[in-house]
């Protein structure tokens, strides 16, 4: 119920509506998400602004898109249970269509090779030269090696391959041996067969296809397959002194042999013989073959309610372990591939040390060895004591008081005898005075007596009249009544 409505405002319209929640947005775009599961959050935000003149935060659009897709899309378990029915519909709608549901057990990278060898036994298997170079570059990370690798990979004949490998061997013998061990038969043009009619040494075609279906890979299984099928239907509907043998359609450079299209050497010979070069193009490039290839296009498929029920046991969902962090959608590029980060530093070449067993080559998470035990007593916490030249380790030695100039001049006289020297002051018997005099507190002029360690470190000076030698410190004191002073030190021979 609206109690008051104010139509006059003192500010310009901003289009921001705080009362519009993600639940309402989800209801507006539910059917759109059903028809187009790859819809993005930015598309919802732009459509709200264009159709309703309303500005909504991108966070609300993301939540609304997630709610709408959860209501439209089914779970993986339901999708896998319908695979047999989906296969039957594909075979019904597309005549002579062959389908195969294969379960690949991941064993490093050998599982894909086994499946390809089983399903496509006559297909030629090649390795991507860019990935081979990336592995080879981990050891030889110098740009001087790159021209040698490119010359080897793009050589069309075996003699040219041997010549390029000889140059690499003269430059670096170890690099030559490692590159030869990488198996050039699968990534060098000189060893490619003439059956495939393709001289590509990199898997750019598969990378481009992977980039095209990037959005479809985020969907559940059947929705992913349907999205890829629609993309393929759309693309199909829219729808290069040598010895040359014209009879065998070959050239020594092997470009004509690999591609099926006459090379520059063959074109010159064809023109010299007044022949049409189009007649020497391979049969696969003919217009009739192109038409026959795409004559049987992918046929439309009925909705799920019209699928024939096969009654087979549902296919179980493979095990999945959720990794920590946000899932990556793009391919992880190597350090030399990123054009925006040419100076990126990687951890290649570094030697890691395990914190558990103190060995190199692995870390604590993958360590299977016993823990390293430090022999001897455990060092106490805190900063270790400094060891001085004389072997002492206590840094808190009491500091000696600075001596005056008069005392330092007196201390230079060394008394070598225990007999007292002559004194200008009158002498008296010190045996009775020292025995009967009570111990003095050492209080004199100036600062009062200290407490604690300062008072304990105060030396007791004998009282009386005469010259004394301390048996503990070998110092010589001159005593006159209550007054005493150090006049030197004695040395023992």
Burial class (CB in 10 A: 0-12, 13-18, 19+), 221: middle
Residue ranges in 218-275 assigned as alpha helix (H): 221-237, 255-259, 264-272
Asked if residues 135 and 182 have their Cβ atoms less than 8 Å apart, the reply is: yes
Whole-number Å distance between alpha carbons of 164 and 160: 6
Provide DSSP, 35-99: H-TT--HHHHHHHHHHHH--B--HHHHHHHHHHHHHHHSPPHHHHHHTHHHHHHHHHHHSTT---
CA distances from 120 to 112, 194, 294 (A): 11, 17, 21
Name the residue range of residue 255's domain. Answer: 244-293
* 253 in the same domain as 190: no
Whole-number Å distance between alpha carbons of 375 and 369: 18
Distance of CA 89 to the CA centre of its chain: 44
Out of 212, 232, 252, pick the residue that ends a domain. 212
Confirm whether 162 is domain-assigned. yes
What's the domain count of the chain?
4
pTM for the full predicted model: 0.40
* 279 in the same domain as 202: no
Confirm whether 428 is domain-assigned. yes
* 271 in the same domain as 204: no
In 3D space, the residue among 159, 227, 221, 220 whose CA is nearest the CA of residue 191 turns out to be 159
Confirm whether 265 is domain-assigned. yes
Give the pLDDT score at 31. Answer: 80
Confirm whether 184 is domain-assigned. yes
* 117 in the same domain as 202: yes
Give the pLDDT score at 239. Answer: 53
Confirm whether 83 is domain-assigned. no
Written as tens digits, the pLDDT of the chain (493 aa) is 667 777 777 766 667 777 788 888 888 888 888 777 778 888 888 888 888 888 888 888 888 888 887 776 666 678 888 888 888 888 888 877 778 777 655 554 566 677 777 777 787 888 888 889 988 988 888 888 989 999 999 998 999 999 999 999 999 999 999 999 988 888 999 998 888 788 888 887 788 888 888 888 877 788 888 888 888 887 776 653 688 899 899 998 888 999 999 998 899 889 888 888 889 999 888 888 888 888 887 888 888 888 988 989 888 888 878 888 888 888 777 766 766 766 666 666 678 899 899 898 898 889 999 988 877 666 677 776 666 555 555 555 555 555 544 444 444 344 344 444 444 444 444 444 444 444 555 444 555 555 444 444 455 555 556 777 777 777 777 777 677 777 776 554 4
Give the pLDDT score at 433. Answer: 45
């Amino acid at each position: 119920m609206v109690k008051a409505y104010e139509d006059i405002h003192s500010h310009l319209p901003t289009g921001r509506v705080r009362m519009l929640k993600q639940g309402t947005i989800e209801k507006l775009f539910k059917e759109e998400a059903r028809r187009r599961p790859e819809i993005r959050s930015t598309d919802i935000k732009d459509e709200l602004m264009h159709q309703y003149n309303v500005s909504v935060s991108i966070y609300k659009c993301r939540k609304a898109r997630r709610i709408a897709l959860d209501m439209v899309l089914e779970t993986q378990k339901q999708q896998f249970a319908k695979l047999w029915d989906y296969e039957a519909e594909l075979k019904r709608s597309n005549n002579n269509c062959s389908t195969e549901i294969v379960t690949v057990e991941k064993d490093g990278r050998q599982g894909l090779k086994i499946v390809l060898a089983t399903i496509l036994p006559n297909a030629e298997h090649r390795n991507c030269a860019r990935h081979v170079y990336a592995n080879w570059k981990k050891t030889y990370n110098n740009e001087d090696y790159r021209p040698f690798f490119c010359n080897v990979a793009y050589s069309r004949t075996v003699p040219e391959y041997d010549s390029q490998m000889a140059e690499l061997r003269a430059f670096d013998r170890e690099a030559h041996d490692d590159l030869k061990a990488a198996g050039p038969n699968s990534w060098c043009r000189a060893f490619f067969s003439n059956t495939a009619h393709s001289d590509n040494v990199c898997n750019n075609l598969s990378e481009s296809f992977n980039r095209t279906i990037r959005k479809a890979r985020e969907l559940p299984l059947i929705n992913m397959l349907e999205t890829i099928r629609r993309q393929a239907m759309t693309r199909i509907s829219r729808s290069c002194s040598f010895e040359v043998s014209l009879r065998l359609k070959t050239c020594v450079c092997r470009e004509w042999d690999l591609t099926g299209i006459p090379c520059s050497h063959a074109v010159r010979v064809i023109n010299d013989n007044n022949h049409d070069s189009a007649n020497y193009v391979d049969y696969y490039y003919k217009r009739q073959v192109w038409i026959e290839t795409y004559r049987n296009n992918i046929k439309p498929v009925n909705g799920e309610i019209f699928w024939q029920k096969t009654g087979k046991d549902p296919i179980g969902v493979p095990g999945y372990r959720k990794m920590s962090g946000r899932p990556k959608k793009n391919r992880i590029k190597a350090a030399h591939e990123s054009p925006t980060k040419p100076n990126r530093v990687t951890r290649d070449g570094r030697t890691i040390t395990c914190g558990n067993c103190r060995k190199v080559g692995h870390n604590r998470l993958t360590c299977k060895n016993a823990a390293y035990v430090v022999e001897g007593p455990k060092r106490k916490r805190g900063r270790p004591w400094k060891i001085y030249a004389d072997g002492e380790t206590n840094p808190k030695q009491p500091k000696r008081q600075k001596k005056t100039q008069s005392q330092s001049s007196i201390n230079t006289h060394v008394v070598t005898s225990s007999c007292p020297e002559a004194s200008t002051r009158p002498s008296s018997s010190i045996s009775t005075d020292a025995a009967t005099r009570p111990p003095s507190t050492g209080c004199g002029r100036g600062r009062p007596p200290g407490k604690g360690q300062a008072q304990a470190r105060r030396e007791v000076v004998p009282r009386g009249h005469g010259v004394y030698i301390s048996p503990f410190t070998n110092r010589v004191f001159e005593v006159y009544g209550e007054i005493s002073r150090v006049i030197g030190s004695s040395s023992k021979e």
